[in-house]
Amino acid sequence: MDPGLLITQIELYRSRIKLKEPFVISLGPLDHAENVIVLIRTNEGISGIGECSPFRTIHGETMETCMIVGAELARMLVGKNPIDIENCHSIMGKCIFGNNSIKSAIDIALYDIAGKVKNTPLYRLLGGMQTRELFTDYTVSLGPCEKMVEDALKIKSEGFHFIKIKLGDTVEKDIERIQRMREAVGPTIPFRVDANQGWTADGALTILQSISKSNIQHCEEPIPRWDFMKLPELRKKSPVPIMADESCCDEHDASRLISLNACDSINVKLGKSAGIYKAKKILALAEKSGLPVQVGGFLESRIGFTAAAHLALSSSAVQFVDFDTPLMFAEDPVTGGIQYGPNGAVRIPENPGLGVWIDESYLSRQDKHIIH
C-alpha cells in the first residue's frame, strides 16, 4: 500500500439518461436512468470513477439524496488513502447507516484507483481470470401480455441465450404471460423470472408450480423481502429454484438466508452491497456453501456494469449475469469499459483498474458537487 497516496478531491455528478422505452417492474415504471457518477482524484494524479443507480423503492435513495449524502461522505474521505478500502468503508459506515447505493459508487471508484496503482485490471486484483465468456440475459418489462410476447420474440431474434421476464401481477395474469411467451418463443431458450417481491407466498407457489414445465431457470425475489421467513418453506415446495435479491443486500443478509436454507441462489448487486468490498464477502459465503450466484445491477450505465463484470470474473460461484440495462439507454456517454457482442456475450478491457471512463463534455453539462 502506498502510504503517500491521498484523496484530494471527490466530484459527484447527476446523470439522467432517457431509456429507449419505459422499463417496468412490479414496483413501478421508469423512463429514465437517474444515476450518480463519482470521480475521485488523488495527489499522485491517479483518478477513479464509480457510479450508482438508486431505486427509491429498493434502496430508499434517490439521485438527490445520493448527491447530498455523497457530499457528506466525500468530506470525510478527502485526505484519506484511497487504496485502504477497508478503512474507507469504516469511515462511511460510521458517518451514516445504510445509503448503500451512493456508498457503492464511491467504493467502485476506490477499486478503480487500486487497480491503476497496481497496474492491473480490476478482475485480476480481485483474484479472477478472464478464462470464461459471460453472456447476459435481456429483460422483458412487465406489461400487457401481447407486448411481452412481442418483446420476447425480438430478444430471441437478436440471439440472446437467456430471456429475463418481469412478473409480479396477479396469479392468473402472470401464468398466462409465461404460457403465451413460451408458446411463442419455443421450448429451448431458458426463462428467468423476477417478481420483484410482487407475490404472496401462496400466490408464488401457485404460479411457480404452474410454470415449472416452461424451462424456468430460477425465480428472483418472489415475495416481499420483509417476509423472508417464509422463503424456506416456499423453496422446499417450489419446483422452480428461488433466487434471493432484495432480501440479500450484504454479507449479513447472505449468512442469514444461507443458514435458513431460504434460497437456491443469490443475486449480488453492487448497489445493494455498498460496492465490491462487501460483495466479495457475499461471494465468499456462496463459495463456501456451494450456492450459485448471479451478478446483476439496477439501471447503471456501462460504468457500473463494467465494475459488475470485473466482480463476476472474480468468483467461480458466479453462474449467471444480468448486465442488459446499458443496452436500453438512448444515449451512451461512456468510453471504454464493458462491450457487448453477439448473443449477449460480454467482454471487459484489459486496461488497469476498471478500464472505463466518461465523456468529459457530457460531465460538463451535468449538475455537480465538488468536494476538496
Residues marked as catalytic = 166, 194, 220, 245, 269
Phi, psi of 106 (to 5 degrees): -65, -45
Beta bridge partners of 25: 28
Grid cell 465538488 in the structure block, residue: 370
Burial 95-112 (b: 16+ CB within 10 A, else e): eeeebbbbbbbbbbbbbb
Q: Please give the Cα distance from 33 to 284 (Å, whole number).
A: 31
Strand ranges across the sheet with 339-340: 134-135, 345-347, 339-340
| H helix runs in 98-250, sequence order | 100-117, 122-125, 145-157, 171-185, 201-211, 231-237
Do 163 and 185 contact (CB within 8 A), yes or no?
yes
Q: Please give the Cα distance from 121 to 68 (Å, whole number).
A: 31
Burial class (CB in 10 A: 0-12, 13-18, 19+), 361: exposed
Q: Which of 133, 191, 193, 140 is nearest to 162 (CA)?
A: 191
Q: Please give the Cα distance from 338 to 334 (Å, whole number).
A: 10
